[in-house]
Amino acid sequence: MTIRIALAALAVLLATGQGAAAEPAATVRELNRGPVAGETFAYDPALVRIPVGGAVRFEPTDKGHNVTPIQALWPAGAPSLNVPFNAEATVTFDSPGVYPVQCTPHTGLGMVALIVVGDADMNEFAAKAASAPGLAPKARAKLGVLAGAAGRP
């Protein structure tokens, strides 16, 4: 009888996901030299997909970088984030959406990344990015490429 109750409780936990181990955080490295030949100042990877409730660990592999939202494109009502220069931090994303981040001194050089949480409308994001005010041309171009890549399965 006791074994049956324990097995039933285990089945309920597993069915609801409460007994499952949390997915490890995705790691994004902050680099002075990007993974693409000739690329300077980059997040690697620059495109991350995580489930709702997933986390991203920002790792200052090279010094002199931070992580902040691109405010003009940040999801309305989403909590902001601020990873200080040279600091490691893990950020949990509890709402679906597209979260664009930047390194403030290197945004103009294209140091941006996209965190795609759950199912997101990449077409809507790409349209917003194409017309977002105050976005440097290299950052705008990279966000367009990343949005296109994120929209493909």
Annotated binding site for Cu cation: 65, 103, 106, 111
Residues 96 and 120: beta-carbon distance below 8 Å: yes
Task: Provide the 3-class DSSP secondary structure of residue 151.
Answer: coil
Task: Say how many C-beta atoms besides its own lie within 10 A of residue 119's C-beta.
Answer: 10
Task: Say how many C-beta atoms besides its own lie within 10 A of residue 138's C-beta.
Answer: 16
Q: What kind and span of H or E run contains 143?
A: helix 137-150
Residues of each annotated binding site: 65, 103, 106, 111
Going across the sheet that includes 26-33, the strands are 40-44, 26-33, 54-59, 89-93
Residue 67 DSSP one-character state:
B
Preceding omega of 45 cis (within 30 degrees of 0): yes
Residue 94 DSSP one-character state:
-
